[in-house]
Structure 1
Amino acid sequence: MDTELLKTLVAIVDHGSFQRAAMQTFRTPSAISMQMKRLEEHIGAELFTKQGREQVLTEKGQQLVGYARQILQLQESALQSIVGPKQNAFINLGCPNDYVSNLLVVIMSAMESLLPSIQFRIRTGTSIELRELMDKGEIDLALVTRTPGSDEGLTLFQDKGVWVAKKDFDWQSLSPLPLALYESGCKFHSSAIDGFQKKGMPYQLYCVTSNLTLIESLLMAEKAISAIASISVNDALEIIESDLLPNLPSVEIAFTRSASAPDWLTVEWVESVIENVIESTGM
């Protein structure tokens, strides 16, 4: 089988759509569709079926994706074995703002342990923004939040949303309750607003931002409470356990690799980074 066709198949699955796979591989969506038609003709089975407006994998498609990953990883391993480790590697790395303080340096250190001469260009933003930068070819590897059970990328760990405030802040005396939340694309934002509306509890969107430092500053000034990932909680804040507040969802943190990433940035290498991060943090 043509490994380029297998790469496209995996890109569709990892990035969620023909459209994003097209951007990742610098092709048109029609070219991606034609590639998948060629692959279907080659194996004699349908790989995708229409479900509403989306194309989803058939049972045969799911089976082939598993083999495709093994074939591509074996190809990557063979190249690494022959060529050897990359020297003076450069990586465009994306990280959500809320993971910069407590996670990014750990990830960079894990990468340095594998490639001591590695150099970084870091881009930060929301997971949505980082995916857009990846689609433009401006990021090689990004850490993103995803819905649990998603096929996107390689799982680093599972986290949960928590309510936080400055220690000893009497937030329960405030009505409406002031909130400092991430942008509306954040799952914690939508869950918080929906939860308050269902509870009928008065709230005020005091500030909406993608900047964790600003949220922390507002919390320390006792201007609001917030909903953030548990890994982002610093020592000056406390997690609020209260039935008055809406439940927040769990999220998975994953590395998603651009289809246009440099050859040395293999899935196997990313898995080694994940192993190092888990070992150093005890996640």
Structure 2
Amino acid sequence: MPAPLDIDQLQTFVAIVDTGSFTRAADKVFKTQSAVSMQMRRLEERVGKTLFVRDGRLNRLSEDGERMLGYARRIIRLNNETIAAFDDQQLEGSIRIGTPDDYADRYMPGIIARFAKTNPNVELYIECEPSVELSARLNRGELDVALVTHNPRERTSEVVRTEPLYWVTSFNHTVHEDTVVPLAVGRRSCNWRNLACTALDSAGRDYQVLFTSWSATVVASAVLSGLAVSLLPECAVRPGMRILSPADGFPSLEPAQIGLMKRPGAPTALVNAICGHIAASLDNITPAGAEDNAKNLGQGASSRRDNRSRADGAVLPAW
């Protein structure tokens, strides 16, 4: 019978991919860089395949490394679920979570599924509203945790994901070439609506807000129908959408950030458990502006994740 794979080696392997380098992975798994390198050599010897290849001064995943990544994540997840299933100190109770509808559509299915498997005695209440409303409800004690668009000028949240923010239009239409650009955005209090207007003003582009809605589905539909231009984070670009660049007359934008908010006084164990699941689920894309070695190392994996995100039909985040 073949010897089993080493969970610790697989965790280090995933950490290298997620952080983008052996050095940062060593910090994450609390090992020296030489120990991390040794673990990867032993893992490669165990499977008989080369998982990383040199590209100049950088390391990147080989084709076999990309294959291994999916298996490694599944093995680690199943290992954690098995341990949790026999934990006599399992969490019990209920927790109230708030999220915009688009985050619920894109992220919550996986988060809920994994959390339910490891914490079967915890009841989750999920409510969908815009970030500004979620922040207010959390402050009133009506929610325990809120997944929001990070906006330090209006609310304090812990950033758990960062990704590029793009202008998008329909792939099959040329509405972005109109003299007056039609926009599909959130309501007047929407931070990204203000960002879009300010950016177009700075670029000297005329525009008109034609579609206003808190619903991500409505905004995305306006874009896909060729009726308007809007803003989307990288993972939410859907089939049929085209990303616009400065060459198209649309200025570059600051990265989008997703944050977590916790209600003071909420059950600590439950809040920490669900926040840990959320953060682990979202913290799988190299932040914008990361070092070149992170981009090269995660290029294959990131490409697959982006394609999976598009296939999932992710839509415009709420503001």
| Common topology (TM > 0.5) | yes
CA contact (8 A) 1:107 1:277 kept: no
Aligned position for 2:181: 177
Q: Could you say what secondary structure the match of 1:264 adopts?
A: helix
Give the TM-score taking structure 1 as reference length. Answer: 0.62
Is 2:254 aligned against 1:225? no
Match of 1:237 among 211, 235, 241: 241
Unaligned runs of 5+ residues in structure 2 are 1-87, 286-300, 306-319
Aligned position for 1:252: 257
Following superposition of structure 1 onto structure 2, how do residues 11-50 of structure 1 map, counting pairs within 5 Å? none
* Aligned mates of 1:158, 1:226 — CA distance in 2: 19
Match of 1:85 among 79, 90, 94: 90
Q: Structure 1 residues 232, 119: CA separation in 2 closer, same or farther (over 3 Å shift)? A: farther
Q: Could you say what secondary structure the match of 2:107 adopts?
A: helix
* Aligned mates of 1:236, 1:213 — CA distance in 2: 14
* Aligned mates of 2:254, 2:137 — CA distance in 1: 26
Tell me the CA shift for residue 142 of structure 1.
0.6
Match of 2:115 among 84, 94, 111: 111
Is 2:139 aligned against 1:97? no
- Cα deviation digits, residues 165-184 of structure 1 (max 9, x gap): 22222124422111001233
**May I ask how many residue pairs the two structures share in their alignment?**
201
Is 2:267 aligned against 1:262? yes
Aligned position for 2:38: none
CA contact (8 A) 1:102 1:231 kept: no
Q: Could you say what secondary structure the match of 1:192 adopts?
A: helix
Q: Could you say what secondary structure the match of 1:178 adopts?
A: strand
* Aligned mates of 2:278, 2:229 — CA distance in 1: 34
Q: Does 125-134 or 190-199 show the bigger shift?
A: 190-199
- Cα deviation digits, residues 186-220 of structure 1 (max 9, x gap): 33211210121222211111012111010111122
Give the TM-score taking structure 2 as reference length. Answer: 0.55
CA contact (8 A) 1:160 1:229 kept: yes
CA contact (8 A) 1:96 1:127 kept: yes
Q: Structure 1 residues 217, 128: CA separation in 2 closer, same or farther (over 3 Å shift)? A: same
* Aligned mates of 1:154, 1:172 — CA distance in 2: 35
Is 2:244 aligned against 1:203? no
* Aligned mates of 1:279, 1:222 — CA distance in 2: 32
1:270 is aligned with what amino acid?
C
* Aligned mates of 2:181, 2:274 — CA distance in 1: 46
Is 2:124 aligned against 1:120? yes
Q: Could you say what secondary structure the match of 1:210 adopts?
A: coil
Q: Structure 1 residues 233, 194: CA separation in 2 closer, same or farther (over 3 Å shift)? A: same
Q: Structure 1 residues 252, 173: CA separation in 2 closer, same or farther (over 3 Å shift)? A: closer
Unaligned runs of 5+ residues in structure 1 are 1-82
* Aligned mates of 2:209, 2:161 — CA distance in 1: 30
* Aligned mates of 2:240, 2:109 — CA distance in 1: 20
Q: Could you say what secondary structure the match of 2:269 adopts?
A: coil
CA contact (8 A) 2:157 2:261 kept: yes
Q: Using the aligned pairs only, state the percent identity.
A: 20
* Aligned mates of 1:124, 1:273 — CA distance in 2: 16
Tell me the CA shift for residue 129 of structure 1.
0.9
